[in-house]
Amino acid sequence: MSTAPQAVALPAAGIEDAPARRRPRLGHRAKRRLSGTVAFVLGTIWLIIVLAPIYFMVLSSLRTQGTYVTANPWVPTGGLTGSEYSTVFHAGLGGYFVNSVIVTVACVLITLALSLAASFRIIRRTSRLSGAVMRLLVFGLAVPIQALIVPLYIIIDKIGLYDTLSALVLTMSAAAIPVSVLIMLSFVRDIPRELIDAMSVDGAGEWRIFASLIVPLSRPVLATVAIYNGLNVWNNFLLPLVLTQSNSNAVLPLGLFKFQGEYGIDVPAIMAAVLLSVIPLVILYIAMRRQFVRGLSGVAMR
């Protein structure tokens, strides 16, 4: 006796749950799309907030005092000109600019070289001397430079470096070394020991290891420290004010202070001077932005 094949009844729960399993996917995509839209809107708003002062400063520096007062400050009309930049250079800010470049470049190079070498030495040789140097650096972080301004002035005056650019280079480099060493220590410590030991087995000395291995691998942290210290040195006002006196050795922050006192009512000239002081920092960041981002990523991972 043959029996007809019976239909197998599918569980109703399985059929009803199929659309329900698809809904979380659609919801997740919608949430991701919404979060991306919100991030884009917030990023655009932040970009406008950041670029608006720069746009205003550039546009104002290209006006004259008369057109700045009468024309709309946000609309590029009213005869734009670059005459205010000639006013800035005739006032002597070109010399201050050159002094700031010299001091900043010298301080950054000295700080990078000494800090990376000290970091490698502390990691390479675990001795009492290395521990004492580390404690000294930590102590240097605890004492602000403002608390040492009077002893610094006396020392610089006694050794005959008062009112020289060398005094600014020495003091600013010494002030930047402690924090630079602490930043670089974490990077140098994470360099694999196997690479250092392999070069040692091949007969390389410490200086060869430092130049051929440590320096190339430390480019991200070097860029980060260079931008950080370059910004601090370029904008430093206290040490140049105390350790220099003549206009021939004045740096740009002092020059801007004096220029503002003489041309306080000439707003376009002030804007032109401030813009000239910002351009080197922008160039420094653009030149090292990739290494800078890699350095920040390394700091975040640690």
pLDDT level of residue 196 (50, 70, 90 thresholds): confident
* Mean of pLDDT values over 203-224: 86
pLDDT level of residue 185 (50, 70, 90 thresholds): confident
Model confidence, pTM: 0.78
* Mean of pLDDT values over 131-157: 85
pLDDT for position 99: 93
Of 99, 140, 106, 105, the closest CA to residue 244 belongs to: 99
Statement: residue 4 has pLDDT above 80: no
Statement: residue 180 has pLDDT above 80: yes
Give backbone dihedrals phi and psi of 218, rounded to 5 degrees, phi first: -100, 15
Statement: residue 24 has pLDDT above 80: no
pLDDT level of residue 28 (50, 70, 90 thresholds): confident
pLDDT for position 297: 59
Q: At CA 143, angle to CA 141 and CA 144, rounded to 5? A: 95
Task: Compute the half-sphere exposure of residue 210: CA atoms within 13 Å on the CB side of its CA.
Answer: 15
Interval 224-265: pLDDT, tens: 899 899 999 999 999 999 999 988 899 999 988 888 888 777
